[in-house]
Every structure is written in C-alpha cells, then in structure tokens.
Structure 1
C-alpha cells in the first residue's frame, strides 16, 4: 500500500512537470488543438497505465497466485486480464493517436513474441488508424511548400487511400494531368512527439517497477530511436531512391518514383501505383496470381536486404506490400512506405547468419555461442525460438525436416505468455539491431500464413541459402592462399547444391499434394 501511494504521488508530480511543459510547447505548435495539450495527453496515458496495473494486481496476481499456472482456470484468467488490458491500451492509442498508434502497431506486429491478446487487439491499428481531415491535409501542404493546393492540384480525393499512425495518403491529380499519391503527415504528430515520448518513458519505468515481468523499456527505446527518422519525409524519399537503385536488378519489384519538387519534411509526393494487398486472397484469386510466387519473391527480396545489403525495410505489414499481374504473366511486388529501415552492421549480419546455420544444424553449443554474441547467453533457446517463430521442440527435431503448421503456431502462442518475464529479459538485452528484425520476421510470417504457403518452407529455403553465402563469404575473406579459398568455395557450392535438392523436393511434394 505504501509503495502504491508513492507511485501515485510520483505520477502526479511528474504529470504536473511534464504536463506544464507540454501545455506550453505543444498547444501552439499544434494549431491550438485542445486535444494536443500535454497535460491532457499525459493525464490520459497515466490514467490508462494505472488502470492496466490495477487490472493485473486485482485479478491475475490476486487470484492467480493460488492457481496452478498450467490449469485451464489460470490460462482463462490470464487471457481475460490480457484482453481487458489490451483493449484499454487500444483506447489510449486511438485517443492520443500519433506516436501511440505507432507503438500499438509495433505491438501488433510481434505475432510470435507477445501475448496473442495484445497482438490481435493492436492489429486493427494497421488498417484503422484515425485520419486527418482534408482541410488539415491542405493546410500542412501549404505550410511546408508555401503553395496553395488549388494552384498545384486539379483535385485531391478527400477520402484517404490509407491512414497510418504518422500520416495518410491521398490520390491526387496535378494540373498537368498526372495522377500521384500524396502522403501528408498528421498536423499534430510532430508537436506532440516530444511530450509523448517522455510520457512513455516515465510510464514504462513505473509499470516495470510495479510489474517486473513487463519490462518494456526496449519498446520505448526503439520508438525514441525511430520516430524522429519517420517524421522526416525527406529521409523516406532518400530511402525510396536508395532501394530503387539497390534492387534495380529485380525486374519484378516496383518502387514508386519520388517527385522531389513536392517533397518536404511533412509532405511526400510519389508515383501512384495500383495493386491488391498482399494478403487479399480474393484479389489474388481473381487475378490468377500464384501465392507461392509472391512468397518466393518476398523471401528473395528480404533475404537480400538482410544478408547482402544490411538495409532492411522494417514495416512490411500488408498495407505496405501490393501485388499485381505483369504483362508477361508473372507477379510484380510493389513495396511502399520506406520511412523505417534497419541498418545492420557486417558483424551483426555475420553473427545472425551463424545463428541461423547453428539452428538449422541443431548445434546447441554453436547456438549458445552466437546468441551470446548477440547479447543473450542463458536464454539462447528462447532467442532461437523468437528468431525462427518455431517451438524449441521443432528446433531440436530439425527445422529442415519439421514443417510449420497451425498446431505449432497455436503451441508457440500458448507457451510464450508463460515466458513473458524471460522474453522481456531477451528483448532488454539483445543487440538493438535485432528488435526491428523481430518485427520484420513476424510480419513476413504473418503474410506467409495468410497466403498459406508455409508448407513449402520458401522463407527457410531463402534464409538458409543467404546464411550459407554470408558465412562462406566471410570465410573466403580470411583465406590466405588461393588453394584455401578454392576449398572454401567448393564447400560452399556443395552445401548450396544439397540445399537446392532438398528444397526442390519440398516444392515438388507441395505441388504433388495440391494437384494430385
């Protein structure tokens, strides 16, 4: 009781300090929007945090302590508490918008790591983020580019093509007849971000203090690191052009052109491209697109991003990946929203590749070594499961021979909530480059699951080959003679040949099962 009173007192004092500063700094910068006042946003977030803490204290921890943690009664109570807390958190994200929605989307992307109740509740934010009015959109355009929208555009569709956490996209027609996609930042996001990030950091410390298994500072740290980059659309324009050049050899990949003359930190004008969302099975079926081709091409794209270039598109949710039929009959992948990229160092990529190979070889000692190099030692088995999205039993049995199915996914999502404290420890200590990789991997697995292509293990095929090439490339750099280099090259080619034979067998078996 004394501890709770101290926490409430600390929260009130901090609310007064942060709120007062926020009221001055954000009210004016956010066009005198009352909802943007720091004390209101902080008060709303503090109330939600204390409410969620109360849920756990008066329900799960009060009654759950006396229960067998494997009993159906405890599992049901835990699920009910998670769901109730997640719904309260969703209400906060939708009310405060901006950075809060970004955090909610991040939670909704960690399908194989966080409790399913949080993930499923937050997933709605990927497709139903609140939108700004067309008047607000025009005002931002006018402020940033010093031009009246009426002088530039024939028309701007008032209904956004999509509304995200930080911005929304409208279809617009220029005076010269060109149709473009106009991405405009929500007007209050930037002004609110400083206060919101300070609020989150303070509340994360309080929640971790009261509920030690909820160590969420890693999420706050990632948000603080990434939000400033995502709020500058000039960076997104640079990323878009960089990736367009980097993957110009992939004829089936479409990256929209950027129109620099209409770009600013809050406005991004790009080529308008049509297609169906990568998880829209009705569109895929109606246009006779092969889901396995989609899965194969996405695996190749992200495999090259991670293991060859170390420059990884880190927000591959379905709204950012479109597909369409090309004139030659093959499938084109359209990659959108280039605001967030993970930059991976050579050392990280090498250790990550070595970890994958040790997992595929069922080499427990090597797994432990490479997990330790990535920041996690004692919980190497858990990090291995989090990286692959597979159960520890499947890893020990051999991922190359154990196909992933719905039963295993259900098992992973049932067991991981029991390990919440351990998962928090992993996320707090693992190499920071791994955090966005977790998010990227989970989103890609979600797409593969929607496409029902996981039986052919395309992603594992590409990952394995890229890992082999990454590791052997590093080994060749260390060779001191041509003979030694030749031996390493032969070993690499032999390994790749065996992998190709095995995965071609899996593809044939999948095709045979489907059509025979």
Structure 2
C-alpha cells in the first residue's frame, strides 16, 4: 500500500517536473522567437563594397597613369567616343523626341565644342575644319565653332624643355642659343612658339622656335583611328559618304605633325616663288628655316616682325594697302593652285603677316607650312579647264569634267568650286532635293573617281574668299583667279585654233563685264563709306549663295 502510494506520488512529481520543463522550454522558445538574433553582415554587401572600392582605386590609378604618362589618351578617347556616338544616336534615331530640331542643334554643338576643346590636339584641327565649312552645318555650329580659332592653351616650359632636350640634346640651350624666352608668344593645336636667339655659331639671329605639344606624338595614332571609326558610324547613320575621305585626310593630318615635312614644304614653295617671274614684283616672303636643327618636333625659323591679317583696323592704321595686300595674297595662291600644283592648305589670316621690307615696300609673309596638297598634272589641268568653263558657263565642259571626277550634280559642283552662284541646269534634278545627305550623295556619284584633293582645294578657296570679304572686297577675286587658270591653259599653246581664239575673246568679254560690275560696286562702297550698308562684291556673292543654299536645303548664313 505504502509502496503503491509512493509510486503514485513519484509519478505525479515526474509529470509535474515534465510539465515545468515543457513550460520552461516553451517559454524559452517564445523568448527566442521574440528576440531576433544579432544581425549578420550580408556577403552581397561585403562584395559590393569591396568591388566598388577596387573599381574606384583601379579607375583612379588608371586615370592618374593615363594623365601623367599617356597624355590622357584613354580619357580623351572615351570622352570622344561617348560624345560622338551620342550625337549619332540623337540625330539618327532620337531627333523626333525634340519639339524643335534647333534645340538638338544647340545641345549637340555645345557638347561637341566642349569635347574638342578638352581633347585639344588634332581634335581642334577637325573642329576648325567644321568652322571653316560652317555654312554646311546648322546655325548653332556656325556660331560656336569659330571659337576654336582662338589661341590654344599654353603648355608649361618644363614640358617644352623636355621636348627640346629629347630632340636637340641635354645641353641645347648653351650649345645653340644665347637665350630662349620661356613665355610662349603663340599657341595652336599642334605646337606653341617661343622667341629665341641663336648664339654666334648660328649667326646670332632671332628666331621663332616652334615646339610640338608633348601629347601630340602619343595621341595622333589613336586620334586618327577614332576619326576613321566615327566617320564609318556617321556614314551609316546619316547615309552620307564620309569614310571615303578618311585615309586621305588622316594622311595629311599625320604629315602636319612632322616638322621636317613642314620645313621641306616651305623650302619647296620658296624655290617655286624664286623661279616665278610673275611673282617678282609681288614681294612675297617665306621665313628662312634651319635644317640642321629641325626635327619631327622642333622647328626653328626666321623671326618676322609683322602684323597678322586678323586685324583689319590695325593694318589700316599702320599704313598698309588692303587692295595691294589682297592682290599679293590671291595671285600667290592662284599660282600655287593653277601653276605649281603645290598648295598651302591652311591660309587663314593667322598664318599671314604683312610688313614693310628694308626698301619700305609692302611685303606679304606666309607662315605655317605643315599642311600642303600636291596636284598631279592631269588633275591640275582639269581644274584649270573647269575654272574656265565655270567662268564662261560652258555647261558641257563642266559636265564633262564632272563625269571624269565621278560627279553628277553640275550646279552644286559649280557653286562649290567657283564659290559664286551658278544657275542650275534644267536637267539637273538634284537641285530640287531639300535633304543635305541626298545632295551630297548625288554630288558624288562614283567614289572611285572622286579626287581627294578637291575638298582641300574648296577649303583653301573658302578661306581666300573669307579674307577678301572681311577686307571689304578690295579686289575682284573671280577675275584674278580666272586669269591665272587661263594663263596656265594657254601657256603651252603657241598656235591657237579659231575656236580657241573665239574662246579667249569670250573669256575677255566676260572678264570685262565682271570688271564693270565690280567697279560699280566699289564706287557704291566709296559713296557709302564704312557704313553697314556698304557691301562689297563678296557680300553680294554670299547673299546669292545663301539663297541658292536655301533652295538646296542648306542653312547658309
């Protein structure tokens, strides 16, 4: 009995003990559920932080190395590709999302200008090409891009000193010079210029020491590759023939970065001028060079004290004759184009000086001989013939040469070459089109025949026209250049046929008529003085070309 009672009590105690244990466990579990475990750091966030830090450090390191040792080659290339591809996308695929296309022009021109300015070097050169042919671009581009002709930023003397030591030796400053002004007098896209004086071993002459920017040598190859790549992209997006010019343009720009080539160009033109009886009385000067100290990156040349053609008022104030000046300028380039077949292709006002020589006569000085084109004999004679046919409006002759050059549109072709409006041929359907890409495609019918020199010639002619226009059109540009072309055509013809004689009389009559019109306009300018209403011949030509361009769908202003 007692045992049975004891067993029962033990059983109750066991049950109660289990109940308490179960309740205790339940309570603990509930507490565990109510109090969350301490947070554990996510592996994902750890990886993200580590990856971001690594990328930041790597990117920063690459940027510093790129900037210090590669002249920002990678940074510039990425920047250029981003902006240029963005422009291609916006114009090619996203232009419909803009309420006004002028808004896109404004944004795109500003992005492009900033990129070209930051990238410097050859990008400035390409931007200047846009500025020079600005009439083919929207107004936003026309207004902004002339800024690229402003003086480029100066490099520090430390950088210039390294270039000189690399090219002339560690002791160059004492070996060759009395002094070098460490402060540059000018800077451009490819180089900057310091005034210096040779020591007695080199004649104790003052010189202009042209030193290439240190980044050009490292950047030029990649810059030109990007230029070719973008041309192909733009050709597909805008359906305009661009890549056909890439190799030729790249070749010319690459030559321009070699100062030995520049020196040889200057010497070659000097010989042409010295042997040309036509230029004997024009008083043209090419600065003397020093081959023994000229390298790919360093070019010493004779120092010339003159006034740049960029400042018309300063020229007048110092007593220079603008009419004589433009005669010198246009005849010099007429001889290069129609006679020598060797053409300075960057004749903007900054590359021209005027001064009085030792005899007190006005002298024109031509600088910067880096960019030249050479015309083969066949093309040169064709161009002379074309100029003559354009002047007397020989449509059949224009069409014949146009076909030889793979060109379809006679009227557009004529206007571009002569830089004066030509009435379109009735059979020329391209003049009825309003899309610029269609016009360009129609202009270049056969790419294999198209002369690569032609765009460079058109660029040179445009610069000549611009300077004459800025100076108030003191000379008849069309007559002066036509006269050079005619002289070259008939210089070797001792016996002229009857048709040839008739043609010469037609030309002379046309030139006489052109001269009368020019005289009337000049008289009108004299009556009106320097007022805004006083327009020269080039101004009227420009107005007619604006109207022609509008009919062709080009915003020429």
TM-score of the superposed pair, with normalisation by structure 1:
0.78
- Residue deviations 1:433-468 (CA, integer Å, cap 9, x gap): 1021011111111111211116x5x21012211222
Distance 1:318 1:125, change over 3 A: same
**Which gives a bigger RCO, structure 1 or 2 (Cα 8 Å, sep 6+)?**
1
Aligned to 1:445: 465
Distance 1:85 1:183, change over 3 A: same
**Secondary structure class of the residue paired with 1:187:** coil
Deviation larger for 426-435 or 222-231: 426-435
Aligned to 1:11: none
2:311 pairs with 280, 291, 300, which one? 280
Aligned to 1:373: 404
TM-score of the superposed pair, with normalisation by structure 2:
0.73
Asked if structure 2 preserves the Cα contact closer than 8 Å seen for 1:372 and 1:380, the reply is: no
- Residue deviations 1:455-513 (CA, integer Å, cap 9, x gap): x5x21012211222233346x2xxxxx7x447688557645654664455456445543
Asked if structure 2 preserves the Cα contact closer than 8 Å seen for 1:93 and 1:104, the reply is: yes
Distance 1:365 1:132, change over 3 A: same
Q: Distance in 2 between matches of 1:420 and 1:333?
A: 40
Structure with the greater alpha carbon radius of gyration: 2
Instruction: Give the Å deviation of 1:153.
Output: 2.8
Distance 1:81 1:444, change over 3 A: farther
Aligned to 2:255: 229
1:45 pairs with 80, 83, 87, which one? 80
2:485 pairs with 462, 467, 477, which one? 467
**Secondary structure class of the residue paired with 2:299:** strand
Q: Distance in 2 between matches of 1:115 and 1:364?
A: 31
Distance 1:497 1:58, change over 3 A: closer
Aligned to 2:30: none
**Secondary structure class of the residue paired with 1:128:** coil
1:89 pairs with 112, 123, 130, which one? 112
Distance 1:496 1:358, change over 3 A: closer
| Structure 1 alignment gaps of length 5 or more | 1-22, 65-76, 397-414, 477-481
Instruction: Give the Å deviation of 1:420.
Output: 4.3
**Secondary structure class of the residue paired with 2:178:** strand
| Structure 2 alignment gaps of length 5 or more | 1-60, 426-431, 528-557
Aligned to 2:268: 242
What is the Cα-based RMSD across aligned positions, in Å?
Answer: 3.2
Distance 1:169 1:40, change over 3 A: same
Asked if structure 1 preserves the Cα contact closer than 8 Å seen for 2:191 and 2:210, the reply is: yes
2:286 pairs with 239, 242, 255, which one? 255
- Does 1:107 find its partner at 2:130? yes
**Secondary structure class of the residue paired with 1:247:** helix
Q: Distance in 2 between matches of 1:270 and 1:198?
A: 32
Asked if structure 2 preserves the Cα contact closer than 8 Å seen for 1:233 and 1:266, the reply is: yes
- How many residues were matched structurally? 450
- Residue deviations 1:127-172 (CA, integer Å, cap 9, x gap): 2323322221121111012243431333322332221221111111
Written as runs of structure 1 = structure 2, the 5 A alignment for 1:204-223 is 204-213=231-240, 215-218=241-244, 220-223=246-249
